[in-house]
Amino acid sequence: MKVNIIKTERILSPTQIPIADFTINPYRGCPFGCIYCYAQVNKTIKRRNEKWGTFIDVKINALELLKKELKNKNIKRVLLGSTVECYPPQEKKFCLTQKIIELLNQHNIAVTILTKSFLLRRDLDLIAKFKNNKIFLTINFNDEKTKKLFEAKTSSLISRWSLLRQIQKRKIPLCLYIAPYFPNLQDIEILIKVAKNLEEVAVEIYNPLMGNWNAVKNILKTNFSPETFERINKIFSDEITYKEFLRSLSEELDKLSKIYNYKISLVAPGFNSFYTNRMPYL
C-alpha cells in the first residue's frame, strides 16, 4: 500500500446529492480496493495508471482548509465519504475524519457519514454529541463468502452488524445502506430482519457503467451458476428487462416498508446511464 501525503486546494465541495449540501473526502484512493467501486472511473484516479486498492492520498491540510472555508459558507449538512472510504486503516494514524467531525460539531454543522468500516466505532461517542449527525452504514451482502468475492479487504459482516448495534445503542440516526445492490445476489428482507429497530433503509442499484462491469461479470461467471449470471447480465444489458426489474423491486420495497414500518428509499440510475448528482431517491 502506497501512502502519499498531499496538500489539496480545497476540502469542501458543493453537491446536489439530496442528503447533504457539501461533501468532504479527507482521502483519495482506498486500500480496500472493492471490485465494484465507482471511484475507479474518476478522471483523477484513471490518470494515475495505478492499480485500484494499492494507494491512498492523505489530504494532510484538510482541517486547516476547513477552518478557513467554514468562515465563508452557509452550510447545513456535510457528507463525509461521498467518493472515498472516510475510515480507511490510515485514519488510525492521521485522524482526519475524527478532527473534521470535531470541528463540524463545534460549528453545529450536521454531518452524514457514509462508511463500511469498523473503525467508525472509535468515533461513535463523538458523533453522538450532535443529535443531527447521521450514519449511513453499508451492509450490502448476506454472507461473508459473497462479500469477500467483491470486497475482500473490508470489515467483516459480523463486525458491521456489531457496529450497527452500537450505533443504535447510542441512538445516533442511522440508515442501513444496501449498496451496491446486485439482483439475485442479496436478500433485502433478510438484511432488514437482522438489522431490527431501524427507521430508514436505502437500496442503491449497482451501475455497470461505473462499477468495473467486466471484472464483476468475471466474478459472477466464475463463482455463481450460469443461470444466476444470465439473469443478472440480462437485467443490465436489456432495457425492458432492467425497467421490469426496477418496477418489481420498487413494489417489493414498498411492501417491506409497510410490513416493517421503515422508510425505504430506492436509488437507481437510468438504463445504461451514469449516476448524476441530480438523481433523486425514488
Sheet holding 174-181, edge to edge: 13-14, 22-24, 77-80, 110-115, 134-138, 174-181, 200-205, 263-267
Collapsed DSSP state (helix, strand, coil) of residue 256: helix
Q: What is the pLDDT of residues 87-103, one digit of tens each?
A: 999 999 999 999 999 99
Q: What is the mean pLDDT of the chain?
A: 94
CATH of residue 100: 3.80.30.30
Residue 279 in any domain: the answer is no
φ, ψ of residue 204 in degrees (nearest 5): -115, 120
Q: State the Cα–Cα distance between residues 61 and 144, nearest whole angstrom.
A: 37
- State which residues form the domain around 112: 2-267
Residue 139 in any domain: the answer is yes
Rounded mean pLDDT, 125-144: 97
Residue 63 in any domain: the answer is yes
Rounded mean pLDDT, 179-191: 96
Structure confidence at residue 278 (pLDDT) = 47
CA-based nearest residue to 59, from 4, 128, 139, 2: 4
Domain count, the chain: 1
Asked if 100 and 80 touch (Cβ cutoff 8 Å), the reply is: yes
Asked if 33 and 52 touch (Cβ cutoff 8 Å), the reply is: yes
In which band, very low, low, confident or very high, does the pLDDT at 281 lie, cut at 50, 70 and 90? very low
Structure confidence at residue 65 (pLDDT) = 97
pLDDT > 90? residue 224 = yes
* pTM for this entry: 0.95
In sequence order, what are the residues at sequence separation of 6 or more whose Cβ sits closer than 8 angstroms to the Cβ of residue 65? 8, 10, 11, 12
Residue 169 in any domain: the answer is yes
pLDDT > 60? residue 276 = no
Q: Residues 275, 276, 278, CA angle at the centre, nearest 5°?
A: 135
Residue 6 in any domain: the answer is yes
DSSP string, 94-158: H-HHHHHHHHHHHTT-EEEEEE--GGGGGGHHHHHTSTT-EEEEE---SSHHHHHHH-TTSPPHH
Q: Are strands 22-24 and 77-80 parallel, antiparallel or unpaired?
A: parallel
Residue 275 in any domain: the answer is no
In this structure, what DSSP letter does residue 75 have? Answer: -
Lowest mean pLDDT among 46-50, 55-59, 105-109, 246-250: 46-50
Residue 272 in any domain: the answer is no
Residue 145 in any domain: the answer is yes
